[in-house]
Structure 1
């Protein structure tokens, strides 16, 4: 038989231990979880995140949509006719990445690398063939005219003569493959080096939206990324691009900031995130846009709103995307001038179909159908920083303006922003990685409940221990001898 004293000791001992362990572990679990998460995510040669970052295992696809101008003959007959656009595609490419030429900078916990990318056409996922013929404005003609916009009329007339020797009009027709990766042969690229007055040298022998990029080691430029070792909140942030912490834009617009999109520290629901885009030589600010469930995992979606390509019209802090003076180069909001980033070409980046753009732009063309689905979107799981879904989509447009002396370029209505093509880089987490996220979240949320339960069991064990102890004391006090008054009197005698 177990004595009551032993029972009391067992109940009180085990109960106290369970309460102590449960309470301490419940309080310590969140920082322990975060510490383990940091060990997994901080970029080192041995961390779990390193290989996933160096060669992302999740399938990625690039969808390209090309705009065809279907009424060129009407435009040539009357330059006041608006271009009618017909969208072709998507032409879908499987995209693979690898990070190359890694340099670990231990003095400031950063990593310098080059992003090498390959694209492989997926005909079964595409709508159309790469042999589809697409007609749009000739980017070389429009670039030469734009580059000479501030030159004298005489100089522009001389350049126009050169252009007229090669092209009858400002339009070009080529197949989808040439527009995208193979490049368009244009004699003007050879002759352009002999055109006087051009302020810059054109660096390519062909023109294509992704020409010379497939497998290129250096096209995206060097990137210097924070590993998160000294400040976990900075994990994945780009610190320098092309060995500089600034781009060609002035003030805060020229800062190199934001994630490249692959690594994120746990964000815990802040109102906006930053994405650095080398193709634009700047960063995008995406605003919180509600919850989104992907493969059973709830994340926070961030999306581009009307502030993304504003240049000070509605949001004063974006004025640095224009010059010090708001001149003719400072166009209405909704399209970002990236000409300084694209070898002087009159390239303007917008959301697809000019979504969120000033009404001036879509009023100059026909055939666009903007919808909220054209927003740049990113969904992050907040407690792990895992990207659940990405729809990185942007549109490239060329600005056509009339310049005195440039007759070849002036065949469209003046001040027309011509949509050329748009792309969507789409990534969604797989069931395998969603399962890992769900497991991590269960550990994050449910383990503390196990410790709460442990504490509750300890309290339950303490109760009978306290009751038994109380009864023993009561019993011991009732068994003490009672001294009667007559016996006491006898003792005194």
Structure 2
């Protein structure tokens, strides 16, 4: 039978060990968890995040919606009518990304190129790539916009030249040509023979995604922080096309933000920055609402009316308005990206001019902006894991009446931003990756509870151990004689 002394020792030994381990680990578990998380997420050739970042394993789809102008005849007849459009699509493409030409740098950054492929998915599409779409001819609109400050006599000569090859401002082609295959235009062929012209079109065809399928260098070189020296900078773009600035002036020209694939853990920041090479600048998405995706709680960030503002509502964004170049800048809600689109009068907005100034949709019939058209990003806060993305933008062409170029000046309004197409790049985390994230989150949340439970059990074991010890002490005090026999005999002998 185990003696009380041994029982007390066992209870107190195990109890004290559990209390110490539990209490110490409760304090140190959060930094231990963050340390392990950083080890997995900091980009290196042997980190868990590397393979996921280099070739996105989550299915991605690009949905393209083209706008077809339905009242061309009335416009050409000179009737004072509002431009009418009908949305066609979506034409859906499976999208794959691969980071290539990787260069690891000494300053905790990596330089890479983005190779992207798109494959048409007819079963997910509404329509065929052979569908014909009629809209304005971007080449004519670009020539007119480029010559808007030239004298009328030169412009009349250019107008006559354009009429040799084009009957009017409008162009009809199938969806495939508008998107990836490209459209032949003799004006482009002729412009290639005269390199000193003010128009610089580095392509032999026109198409919204022409030459992009499989191209390594179309998006340009990116220089991104790996998070090694500063984990909070993980995924942030430091340079694009070997520069830390774009065509925009001031703060608007800074290269900053994530491309959307890698994020350091976000702890409820009011806004996040996304760098979008297609528009040569960054977008600021504001905290919108809490969401739940695949059983994981996260926060959704979304565009608001500050996106594509140019100083009208938010003075600090006036750097997106270049009055020297543009004269009176257009109202907010559409970003002039002509400087990074070879001088073409391209403007980017949210689909259907969502959140834009009423000036734009007032000139167009057939638009129906809804909250579903908004640019959205959902993140899990403690791991920085993207849960869902709906990257949505609309490309518009400005048709501005220019003196002397009558071929271009047929729309009722002298300044019309014509919606050409909009796209949605959409992805959502898969059950497989959601399960991994849930496991990491369980470790973060449940381990401290387990350690607290361990501490409580240790305290519970300590209590009986202490009680047994006190009982032994009290019992030994009660049974021990005040004077022992040896002490009495010694006292008697001493007296004699």
Interval of TM-score (by shorter of Structure 1 and Structure 2): over 0.9
Distance 2:117 2:430 in 1: 21
Distance 1:266 1:375 in 2: 24
Deviation at 1:201, TM superposition (A): 2.2
Q: CA RMSD in A?
A: 1.9
Name which of structure 1's ranges 217-226 and 150-159 shifts more when overlaid on structure 2.
150-159
Q: What pairs with 1:79-228 in structure 2 (closer than 5 Å)?
A: 80-105=80-105, 107-193=106-192, 198-228=197-227
Q: State TM-score, norm by structure 1.
A: 0.96
Aligned residues: 489
Measured at CA, do residues 258 and 196 of structure 1 come closer, stay the same or move farther in structure 2, by a change above 3 Å?
A: closer
Contact 2:296 2:434 in 1 (8 A): yes
Deviation at 1:326, TM superposition (A): 9.2
Where 1:270 maps in the other structure, the secondary structure is coil
1:212-246 Cα deviation digits (max 9, x unpaired): 11000100000001111101111111100000000
Measured at CA, do residues 185 and 325 of structure 1 come closer, stay the same or move farther in structure 2, by a change above 3 Å?
A: closer
Q: Residue 423 of structure 1 corresponds to which residue in structure 2?
A: 423
Distance 1:395 1:419 in 2: 7
| Pair 1:407 & 2:406 matched | yes
Q: Residue 45 of structure 1 corresponds to which residue in structure 2?
A: 45
Q: What pairs with 1:249-398 in structure 2 (closer than 5 Å)?
A: 249-323=248-322, 328-398=327-397
Contact 1:313 1:333 in 2 (8 A): yes
Measured at CA, do residues 39 and 462 of structure 1 come closer, stay the same or move farther in structure 2, by a change above 3 Å?
A: same
Measured at CA, do residues 9 and 196 of structure 1 come closer, stay the same or move farther in structure 2, by a change above 3 Å?
A: closer
Contact 2:394 2:421 in 1 (8 A): yes
Measured at CA, do residues 326 and 222 of structure 1 come closer, stay the same or move farther in structure 2, by a change above 3 Å?
A: closer
Deviation at 1:3, TM superposition (A): 1.4
1:457-487 Cα deviation digits (max 9, x unpaired): 000001001111121222222223357xxx9
Contact 1:148 1:197 in 2 (8 A): no
Deviation at 1:80, TM superposition (A): 2.8
Deviation at 1:192, TM superposition (A): 3.4
Deviation at 1:191, TM superposition (A): 2.9
Measured at CA, do residues 79 and 197 of structure 1 come closer, stay the same or move farther in structure 2, by a change above 3 Å?
A: farther
1:74-94 Cα deviation digits (max 9, x unpaired): 011125321110000000000
Where 1:359 maps in the other structure, the secondary structure is coil
Where 1:292 maps in the other structure, the secondary structure is strand
Q: Residue 10 of structure 1 corresponds to which residue in structure 2?
A: 10
Q: State TM-score, norm by structure 2.
A: 0.96
Name which of structure 1's ranges 183-192 and 197-206 shifts more when overlaid on structure 2.
197-206
Q: Residue 244 of structure 2 corresponds to which residue in structure 1?
A: 245
1:415-457 Cα deviation digits (max 9, x unpaired): 1110000000001110000000111100010011111110000
Unaligned runs of 5+ in 1: none
Where 2:403 maps in the other structure, the secondary structure is coil
